[in-house]
Structure 1
Amino acid sequence: MQAGDPERQLSSCRCHPLDSHHGVSAGLPAPVGSRRFLSPDITGSLSITTPDQTIQEAQGETVHLPCMFTLNPEDQGPLDIEWLRLSGPNEARDHVIILYAVDKIHSDFYYDLKGRVHFTTNDIVSGDASIKIRNVRPSDSGTYQCKVKKAPGVAKTTIQLTVVEFIGNVSITTPEQTIQEAQGETVHLPCIFTFISKDQGPLDIEWFRLSGPSNEAVDRVVILYSADKVCDDFYTDLKGRIHFTSNDIRSGDASINITNVQLSDAGTYQCRVKKHPGLVNRNIQLAVTGSTESVNITTPEQTVQEVQGETVHLPCMFTPNPEGQGPLFIDWMQLTGPENEVVNRMFIVNLADKIYDDFYQDMKGRVKFTSNDIRSGDASINITNVQLSDAGTYQCGVFYGHGAVKRTIQLIVVGSSRGAVKKGHTWESVFRTLLSFRAGLSAQRPGKRGHTEHMHRQRQGLSPIGSSIECTPWSKALWPECCHYK
């Protein structure tokens, strides 16, 4: 999220910022991610716009301690930024933990945070002195002070950090992965999660775009779910192109789609699920390609029909270009929308020669790749015990090197009943049997409708069918060689 006024940004989409709706009540622990705002200490013309606050984070996560400042033309001296850990009840003195001076960064003062504390931006002079502490521990809890100096201006703000042990049971079942998509397509970033009754707090979902050599910096929030409301207008570059895929996020699906994906959308995205006291996140690497020439799917788009309860085969044969290089990635998705433009869910994936098939509970244990050697060019799947609810449009995506290609298969599932045709029989054989039975009854009644084709079949050298067939315009149209009608 951009620095500035988060309350104003969030009000535009009529939802609460994650930090504000939790609240912090006296005598109660603050939920993970909550903040209590106090007042900044400002001296001189230089000013820090970040107020004093309390931040709570779960053990093992990366915590962001903000410190945004503005300079005044009167401030002519060198810019110095100093972060201190203030002394506590059992500490004799304050500790400098990171320092910016004379365009250089020094972060090796405090042994307990060595290698874990960093400024969030390389352009500190632009007004961002915020820091990140990675893999936070309960021992990191305490009071931190950001002090900005540019003579004659001096300003400071304090952050109270509380690190809690992870005791929640929120879990993201989606593995970390790389997803590749062709420019202009719709890309699906999965995030399936579960939680149990011990997680009593409100459900918050945040998707971030990360940056930095180790993805340690949160570039910005791209979409947010909080207090049963969705906010998706934080990030201008994705405005109008990013959506949650499910209308029932509470059911455990926090996946998102990005439509008309661009080369500039490539990067690392993080799905974070919070339900106090649980907190968990998962990174997804997005690669966007501008070419589709290194792989080709030879299976045509088609409609496949199967009877409920049977095993249906959805074909997807492909040929990679010998000149193509890079990992092979296969995904199968179910599409929705008037023009199949929306990815409803991903349900089986082959990534780096590993298969993941537990994304979608309704198909868990029923969907399998048909080949053990997918690299040979067969990405087809079977769905066992196919149900009426499985009907719809399925998409096979093959990504290889810089190439990406897709093919859709329309699946129709017909209901099974007591009169259904058994395997090995044809509808023609069933109708012949029925007509023969009806003709036998008709032959026992006098009149023209009792006429049979017995003599006709003998003259034609045809073998009898049952006793006889009642000839009607309908039956003659079906089998003219077997019925004579006047």
Structure 2
Amino acid sequence: MGDLWTSSWIILGFMPALLDSMTILEPSTETVVLAKGNAATLGCTYVLDPVEIGNVFIMWYKINPDTTELDTVLLSYASNYMKSYAPPSLKNRLSFTAADPGQGDASILITHLKVTDSGTYQCNVKNNPGVASRRITLIVEERPRHPRCFIKGKNTKGRDVILKCRPRGGTPPLKYKWQKISGPLNPTTPDLNSTPVTGDLLIRNISKAYEGAYQCTVGNKVGTATCVVHLHVCTGEEKIGHIQPSLIKFKDFTEMFGITNCHLTMEHGEIYASANAKKLSELTCNKNENASVVFQRVL
């Protein structure tokens, strides 16, 4: 039986790809792009001419891109018997979709797709005297995941900053798109999609008009992911709080936020701090810790 099976496929290799008595219903070639982790159904449904006799023979291959090497046999069906030849990394994820592929459906299913599953697969169906085949190119890509948005540069009025977007993983090429989703409308806002290759957004000569939340969307053929960064522009003075009676005394406030020497001024009920250091805890101050002004910080 083994010799008969081998000789049948040797003969098949010299026969035309399609005879009128055997027809595969899907196109002869197809390209499918799917995300890593998804499942792929590679279709191969067929109809037989009534004049055909004998058993249906089905064979699935993964085509070797090196034409000097043999293709990899994955699955076979003959005389109601299915056999897998797939490598261990694929064997438990590969199967025919139909309980009996000999009844017109030789499609296969690959679950939990891996990037290494990418390649060209060929379905051959034979039943004397007809034979037909089709090829499916499967491309498995990884979605970009958990991007991180951050700002490079000093966010001081008049300076330049770069908004950056860095995803984890993702099959290239990746495309980036920036949107300002909150904050002042500004007609001089730069082209938010001027750097789709690197994901960097350069903003020159920043001012209060550029403050707000910026969203980066990074994607490829199989998925997208987003992150948000908030741009705050520092000027000579920065508001850090406002008066709200019966909340926290100045001494409690300084202890709560670890601020020890903070020069505060009050104007129209608003609390201000001189922005002469990178962090609030580094500001110099002369305020009396026993002051009875009661306020809370605006975060």
TM-score (norm 1): 0.30
Richer in strand (by share): 2
**Structure of greater relative contact order (alpha carbons < 8 Å, 6+ residues apart):** 2
TM-score (norm 2): 0.47
